[in-house]
A and B are shown apart, each in its own frame.
Chain A
Amino acid sequence: MSDRLSVLKTYKLYVGGKFPRSESGRVYEVTDHKGKWLANAPQSSRKDARDAVVAARKAFGAWSGATAYNRGQVLYRVAEMLEGRKSQFVHEVADAEGVSKSKAAVVVEATIDRWVWYAGWTDKIAQVIGGANPVAGPYFNLSSPEPTGVVAVLAPQESSFLGLVSVLAPVIATGNTAVVVASEKSPLPALSLGEVLATSDVPGGTVNILSGRTAEIATPLAAHQDVNAIDLAGADEALAKELEIAAADNLKRVLRPQPVDDWTATPGLDRMTAFLETKTVWHPTGSLGASGSSY
């Protein structure tokens, strides 16, 4: 091993395509599973949460309005970037989750594959869950899924990277924008993901990543009137209930925490459909006109 003193990385939030520190100036100590110091992570405040929502709302029009093909291209680009930074993530996941480098590599590879899986869904989900409705009348009637808007995502606490991507990718693949609350204990892979997103053509604000105390950040997000939905994956039972109650104020779509034994299992559509609205558009058809002459 070289005796060169390494350059440490300052981890920052990812908000609106930029890398700010917490406006509160606070950081908290992130350690590995044995308690060894890894880094200081920003400890986000409610104002950081507010800024992230503003950024996500601002980004929503362009991201939801992009073609599904374009979103797929951008998300696939993310997978390419992840592949290039695999060793960094293996390192961070091993530290965060206390697993061997080889086990961490399996997790990171599964994560990248997960991202590719969702990248491919962008231009297919509407065909699978939308469609024409055969109404009893002279009308054309089509139901299509649309993103619900700004989604607050509480990333799973344990699975710091695969779990994170498994909850984030479906949210943005479907055209929503996200405010992610990283795993409280293991936020570093999430913060590094922000760096990947920033270099992958993902428009700024589409994904915003906050680290800190989950309850502190999630509470204002759950109550925020300009947040349309919340994924409670990273909340414990008591917090989840409290947040669901707060979310009722503007009738956010709430995805309750569900036990996940194995994040590597192939997901279904649930995490996408949870954040999709169905819009049904009607238009008269009618006849082409009366028939002609019969002399």
Chain B
Amino acid sequence: MPTNAHIAAHSLSDVAASDSTLRRFLHGLPGVDAVGLEARAAALGTRSIKTTAKAYAIDLAISMVDLTTLEGADTPGKVRALGAKAVRPDPTDRTTPSTAAVCVYPDMVAVAKEAVAGSGVKVASVATAFPAGRAALSVKLADVRDAVAAGADEVDMVIDRGAFLAGNYMKVYEEIAAVRDVCGTDARLKVIFETGELSTYDNIRRASWLGMLAGADFIKTSTGKVAVNATPANTLLMLEAVRDFRAQTGIQIGVKPAGGIRTSKDAIKFLVLVNETVGEGWLDPYWFRFGASSLLNDLLMQRQKLATGRYSGPDYVTVD
């Protein structure tokens, strides 16, 4: 796996040289017209995906799910059940693909790791004082270190939105870079912006570039813990960012919308966004993920419907 931070630092080496160069770069990015962005996302949402295309999209979506539990009430039993579900989402149909990963808190990584052992399903762990991110850097890094030590394949960190909104871009950058260092080559790093808190699309584009420059392997919309999480528009914007970043640096970055995607119809709309914005290079669980929990069961019901021609019901998918 390439270490993105080093390559990025090489090709855009002067950008993060100082607080002011970083600020100038981020504020020099093209603006975003909100109405136009949302209109484009909505227009792609009217694509009609039928029959074979739908079957393809549903399986692809299942394989892209980061099956998530991030509750105060999480227990080893709950996490084991989640792991089993991720490995074999539909016990009645073995052709159903596994999800991409399970996503848990750091203290549950070891349990999750065991639950998915040998399946190819990854374990992702949120870290850095998720979801608020309001802790000292040393605490955040310790959080990440724990997760990685417990075997996390992927780390989902949150950025310091306070610092971002206060204009301390360098602080955000350095924090991401520090987490990147801790992840090393063992874990892929997903950087969560909490787009609902950044509020504006201009901020989301700046955060996307900031994250990519600092060494993110993935950029991720949200924690799922605030009012506005993944939307077609903010995901489209982040897809444009990874597309432009690859054009400029040659480095491909993944995208993960998270929170609020509950139906197959929604998931397919996101896949259409991917298909028509960045193309098939990203139509792969390695490059695109859904952070979701209830979505999986809806995908499974739709999959059953396609297979049998009958509408399925919640009693025919597992509750975990």
Contacts and interface: CB of A to CB of B under 8 A. Distances in A.
A–B direct touch in complex (beta carbons closer than 8 A): yes
Interface of A: 138-139, 284-295
14 contacts: A138-B35, A139-B35, A284-B33, A286-B33, A286-B38, A289-B200, A289-B203, A290-B199, A290-B231, A291-B196, A291-B228, A292-B226, A293-B194, A293-B227
Contacts of A290: 195-196, 198-200, 228, 231, 234
Q: Which 5 A-B pairs have the closest CB atoms?
A: A284-B35, A289-B199, A286-B34, A286-B35, A290-B228
B225 interface: yes
Interface in B168-222: 194-201, 203
Contacts of B199: 288-292
B227 A287 contact: no
Contacts, number: 47
A209 B225 CA distance: 75
B36 interface: yes
B34 A292 contact: no
Contacts of A289: 34, 199-201, 203
A288 B34 CA distance: 9
Contacts of A292: 196-197, 199, 226-227
Q: Give the size category of B's interface with A.
A: 20 to 34
B120 to A, nearest CB: 34
A284 B34 CA distance: 8
A292 B165 CA distance: 12
A295 B33 CA distance: 29
A287 B196 contact: no
Nearest to B194: A293
A101 to B, nearest CB: 67
B35 A295 contact: no
A293 B201 CA distance: 16
B38 A295 contact: no
B196 A284 contact: no
Contacts of A286: 33-35, 38
B34 A295 contact: no
B132 interface: yes
Nearest to B195: A290
A295 B200 contact: no
B45 interface: no
Contacts of B34: 284, 286-287, 289
Which of A284, A286, A293 has the largest number of chain B CB atoms within 10 A? A293
B97 interface: no
Which of A139, A287, A292 has the largest number of chain B CB atoms within 10 A? A292
A138 B231 CA distance: 18
Contacts of B203: 289
B206 to A, nearest CB: 13
A138 B33 CA distance: 12
Given A284-B36, A289-B201, A295-B131, 11 more contacts: A286-B34, A286-B35, A287-B34, A289-B34, A289-B199, A291-B199, A292-B226, A293-B194, A293-B227, A294-B227, A295-B132
Given A138-B35, A284-B34, A284-B35, A291 B227 contact: yes
